[in-house]
A = this chain, B = another copy of it.
């Protein structure tokens, strides 16, 4: 793997803080002490503060903003900030937030010790401060925890906690009320991680954990810690079944409950993977009789560029106020805008489904005699036959510079024309071209077909005579391609493909027409 932007963990962390201080001048960002805070006098409001090591971005700088975190103090890579930095930040925050401070601490030893030390330090200086521990990971259930080896780690449930508590703070709730609500949120949250490709440490070549290529680690921690176990060659459906079965064991969520679902990208999943996972989760949760009232999908809490995800369920049954707090907008840059995450009953829906209108327009057209029409028809069929015969040759020619499917593309076009020859009104040139254009449009969505469809559409619109139709075809095509004479791309260049078409016209309709085509082709220009 490459280290172009990841020379060392120190340079990465420093670069990150310098970068956010550039990108978000609306916040107070002290690069040196890695402190970010809402730089305004919030009167008697309660400050909501968190802290944690680097490598989990956008957590937590991305959540600083009104209606979410008041401040965040960052550490070195995967290491809590020192107590000194935290206490300095807390003392400054206390001056701007006279309602006291609620510290949200991830259940991680060093975070707890450093934050604890800072809390005790500022408390003796008169700062009113309380703390809450986020412990939402249910990869290891209580039985294991009682054995003393493991405990519930803090995962992406923290982000929902930030959002609800931030709104409570903005709404003027007291520190005492916020502590009680935080405990309640904690009890109603459960999360679990899955990992599919490990990240690696900046400046090193080794990956953070090991995984063979077909497995997924279920219950993985935020630093790659092993979890519940590994699944191999599993389907999305079965993977989700395993995750939910573990999550349901703790009875935080049960049938009939209303929940919020958060699907967090640990780093390198693409959006197709994330929403595929979110959909499968939503389906299986719903099938258990649980109502998913909001689904949030995005980059909330990462482990560098790990390919994996965290799944969080928050039980909001009977707590419509929490839902309202989640919906309240925040300026924090990492919280997705949520107005579209819900149905707005105030705005009447304009559509319930897409209407399809495939009526063909009227076109002015030259009308052919029966004999001329039959010649046109047999010409179309002759071209189709020729395309069918030349399929392999066209594929071969294309394979030398393209993906070798031009013959196939023309074959499907030939099939479409031939199979529908009875529907092409060959005596009405304009309508004939228009219907051929539609046939080309609907024959597979390949670029060649679109190209002919456009030409035929152009021809249909100026089919008062053959030469005008040809000009219309060429001009229409050039309008939507930017290549020019001499270009070697088939699709981008009307000219070389026109040569072939001209060849056919020449043979059948004579040199006069071909000459006029040549003239027109030279005159036409891109009008787009």
A41 interfacial contact with B, CB 8 Å = yes
Which of A54-62, A310-318, A373-381 binds B?
A54-62
Tell me, rounded to whole Å, the shortest Cβ–Cβ distance linking A194 to chain B. Answer: 8
CB-contacts of A462-517 with B (<8 A): 476, 479-484, 486-489, 491-493
Asked if residues A2 and B213 are in contact (CB atoms below 8 Å), the reply is: yes
8 contacts between A and B (CB under 8 A): A4-B239, A24-B341, A88-B354, A109-B447, A109-B492, A112-B482, A117-B441, A305-B307
A331 to chain B: closest residue by CB: B339
Complexed CA–CA distance, A130 and B372 (Å): 37
Tell me, rounded to whole Å, the shortest Cβ–Cβ distance linking A241 to chain B. Answer: 13
A443 to chain B: closest residue by CB: B82
Copies of this chain, count: 2
Tell me, rounded to whole Å, the shortest Cβ–Cβ distance linking A79 to chain B. Answer: 7
Asked if residues B54 and A272 are in contact (CB atoms below 8 Å), the reply is: yes
A394 interfacial contact with B, CB 8 Å = no
Complexed CA–CA distance, A226 and B399 (Å): 19
Asked if residues A274 and B19 are in contact (CB atoms below 8 Å), the reply is: yes
Given contacts A35-B354, A480-B113, are A148 and B343 in contact (CB under 8 A)? no
Q: Please indicate the chain B residues that have their CB under 8 angstroms from the CB of A236 in the complex.
A: 4-5, 7, 15
Given contacts A342-B25, A491-B113, are A273 and B351 in contact (CB under 8 A)? no
Tell me, rounded to whole Å, the shortest Cβ–Cβ distance linking A370 to chain B. Answer: 28
Which of A167-175, A411-419, A450-458 binds B?
A450-458
A445 interfacial contact with B, CB 8 Å = yes
Complexed CA–CA distance, A445 and B493 (Å): 65
Asked if residues A30 and B353 are in contact (CB atoms below 8 Å), the reply is: yes
A197 interfacial contact with B, CB 8 Å = yes
A428 interfacial contact with B, CB 8 Å = no
Which of A44-52, A157-165, A292-300 binds B?
A292-300
Most buried by B among A16, A199, A215: A16
Asked if residues B271 and A22 are in contact (CB atoms below 8 Å), the reply is: no
Q: Please indicate the chain B residues that have their CB under 8 angstroms from the CB of A441 in the complex.
A: 82-84, 117, 121
Asked if residues B483 and A41 are in contact (CB atoms below 8 Å), the reply is: no
A151 to chain B: closest residue by CB: B482
Most buried by B among A7, A124, A125, A276: A276
A143 interfacial contact with B, CB 8 Å = no
Tell me, rounded to whole Å, the shortest Cβ–Cβ distance linking A284 to chain B. Answer: 12
Given contacts A57-B272, A307-B305, are A342 and B96 in contact (CB under 8 A)? no
Asked if residues B482 and A196 are in contact (CB atoms below 8 Å), the reply is: no
Tell me, rounded to whole Å, the shortest Cβ–Cβ distance linking A517 to chain B. Answer: 21
A321 interfacial contact with B, CB 8 Å = no
Tell me, rounded to whole Å, the shortest Cβ–Cβ distance linking A490 to chain B. Answer: 9
Given contacts A30-B353, A149-B488, A275-B16, are A305 and B270 in contact (CB under 8 A)? yes
Asked if residues A270 and B57 are in contact (CB atoms below 8 Å), the reply is: yes
Tell me, rounded to whole Å, the shortest Cβ–Cβ distance linking A185 to chain B. Answer: 16
Top 7 A-B residue pairs of the complex, sorted by shortest distance between their CB atoms: A19-B275, A15-B276, A116-B480, A57-B271, A26-B340, A268-B268, A113-B450
